[in-house]
Amino acid sequence: MRADAVREGVGSERAWTENMSKRTHMSGTWRWWVLVGSVGLVGLTGCRTTGTAIREDTKHPRQEIQFDPVEVTADLELEKLNDEELFAGGTSAFAAGDFKQAARYFGRLVDFHPQSKHRNEALYNAGLSHQRLKEWEEAYHRFAELADAEKGQGDALESAFRVAETLYHLERFSDAVKMLTTLAHRQDIPVGRRMEARVQQGICELELGQKEQSENTLRKALSDYESLSDKDEVEDYFPAQAHFFIGEVYRLHYEEVKLDPAKGTDKLAEDLNYKAELLLSAQGHYLRSIKVGNGYWATAAGAQIGAMYENLYDHMVNTPAPPELDAEEAQVYRQELRKKIRVLLTKSINIYERTLEAAERIGSQNAFVDRTRESLRKVRELLLADADGEQDAEPPPEKPKPKPHS
């Protein structure tokens, strides 16, 4: 990948965890199609058949004239520019952060100057501009024209990765898995790119609900990484991301376990213990993600651990006592539950505080950091409320009994 004024690494585009359910539609930034029929023609020209309002002629049925689709090119400002001027304009706009203008210039070059020596670069940069605007459909079409997942190098290889990312955002996960699987099996590209493809493949499989397959894919990526003699061949972003998403697999299993007191105390205790085991399994993988040392995934993993403790707290607080318990037994049950809840809240606060300390130390600032800060505030309030509730629940101290007279 060339390091020109527009090209950039994929680091800023890698947050595949942020499942952008914001779909965009083809907007036609510089052209649109108009179907012209008899009614449309009158509307466009303003013509009328008579000087008065049109009336239905019952003796002579009205005839409709159908015209072929007409392509209307409206960007008169760019029409007079040659390919060199368009490429320069697009490059300047991108450098200035005006991605809408950049897409407009590069797109004009691609569509109206097919023989230009700049066409492939403009095609890639047009896709990149649409990607920055989260115009995933437009980005997909630009990148797809260049992409070659099986044999491509340079722009063709980079575009294949970009196509997979746009497919992810378009929620076409199966198509993304196919392309990423092809990339992951290529032995002629650097090991770092193969790992990138395999990790993203595992993420898309998880989006498809294929938890077991996703875990296997992510573990394969980590196994390949651990076998490397020189781990600097792979950016720490990807092993950290792989550990994080294995944690996500176990978090999803955790969420599937429902606590139902109607099933009785034994079943409730069994489900609660299993839920806690899954929490610890997820936590273990999140902690491995933190240990890798990538700032983004470290803060993301810390936030998820704290959130899981907070979630288990909510489940325990909102789950009523089993119905077979009498009033005294139910009170004992709630007292024991309160002790466990306090432990969960304390652990959650500890994790959140450590996550924020790590984020401040490495200068990380992202949505996970903001969420962690807000969650810490909320959990501290819950712990204070729990302490107040325990004091209110304590029975008043017994009055000393008077000593008997001798």
What's the confidence (pLDDT) of residue 46? Answer: 35
Q: What is the pLDDT of residue 30?
A: 23
Average pLDDT, the chain: 79
Cα radius of gyration rounded to whole Å, the chain: 31
Relative orientation angle of helices 119-132 and 155-169, to the nearest 10 degrees? 30
- The answer to whether the predicted template modeling score (pTM) of the entire model surpasses 0.85 is no
Note the pLDDT of residue 13.
Answer: 44
Per-residue pLDDT, 64:
54
pLDDT, position 124: 97
Can you give the pLDDT at residue 149? 97
Residues of the chain with confidence (pLDDT) below 50:
1-13, 15-60, 70, 72-73, 396-397, 399, 406
Categorise residue 114: left if φ over 0, alpha if ψ from -120 to 50, beta otherwise: alpha
- Asked if 242 and 221 touch (Cβ cutoff 8 Å), the reply is yes
- Quote the CA–CA distance of 193 and 191 in Å, as a whole number: 5
Stretch (H or E) spanning 32: strand 31-34
Within 13 Å and on the Cβ side, how many CA atoms surround 73?
10
Contacts 24+ apart (CB under 8 A), 220-228: 221/195, 222/246, 224/191, 224/194, 224/195, 224/198, 225/195, 228/191
- Residue whose entry in the numeric block shows the structure tokens 């952008």: 20
For the CA atoms of 179, 249, 283, 336, the dihedral, rounded to the nearest 10 degrees, stands at: 170
What are the sequence ranges of the domains in the chain? 241-392
Confidence at residue 45, expressed as pLDDT on a 0 to 100 scale? 30
